[in-house]
Amino acid sequence: MSGFIPRVCAVAMVVALGGCLGTDGPLSSGPVGDVTNAPVGAGINVTAGSKEDFIVNVGRRIFFAKDEATLDDTARETLNNQAAWLNQYTRYRVKVQGYADEPGGPAANKALGLKRAEATKAYLMERGVDGGRIRTTSRGNSEPTMRCADVSCWAQNRHVRTVLE
């Protein structure tokens, strides 16, 4: 009788876990209803080659160190993905927007944002994207992603955003 209870528990667990298996395997990833704060479509059923596909599956932002316009490994990986996508879906023109954080004057931040955008454009061109499809702009620090007085959140404002047109 002492082995009966553990065996019953083991069988019950197998039966309960069996309900987690769908036709696609464990924990099937079908729609599960409304998800709060999820991006549009939440990456589910995104049309290949759409603007949403670019935003959700490729990524449109890269980030920079303070006062820098040098691409790091993470930025290059994102740009490699962008270039591959843009080379596949050639109907899009892109606007590469550079941004800066709070320190520095408006003119210096505008120049830094443009330098970041130009570095991004040059990298995309090196990866085969036609430069005639890319235009660069700078927002400097005039349109911050995060408005804050704390230096810890300024890093969110040091980025380039690739926008499909």
Residue 53 falls inside a structural domain: no
Q: Say if residue 33's pLDDT is above 50.
A: no
Q: Average pLDDT of the chain?
A: 79
19 falls within a domain: no
- Which helix or strand (DSSP H or E) is residue 85 part of? helix 73-88
CATH number at residue 116: 3.30.1330.60
> What pLDDT is stored for residue 55 in this prediction?
95
Phi-psi category of 89—alpha, beta or left, where left has phi over 0 and alpha has psi -120 to 50? beta
Judge whether 1 lies within some domain.
Answer: no
Confidence of residue 43 (pLDDT cuts 50, 70, 90): low
Does 165 reside within a domain? Answer: yes
Domain enclosing residue 150, as ranges: 60-165
- The Cα–Cα gap between 51 and 160 comes to 17
- Look at residue 104 and tell me whether its pLDDT is greater than 50: yes
Dihedral of the CA atoms 139, 107, 157, 165 (nearest 10)? 20
- Does a structural domain hold residue 145? yes
In a domain, 30, yes or no: no
- Give the pLDDT confidence of 108-146 residue by residue, as tens digits: 999 999 999 999 999 999 999 999 999 999 998 887 777
Residue 27 lies in a domain: no
Which residues does 90 contact at the CB level (< 8 Å), separation at least 6?
130, 133
Q: What is the pTM of this model?
A: 0.72
Give the total number of structural domains in the chain: 1
pLDDT band at 69 (very low <50, low <70, confident <90, very high): very high
Within-domain flag for 42: no
Of 96, 107, 111, which is closest to residue 163 (Cα–Cα)?
96
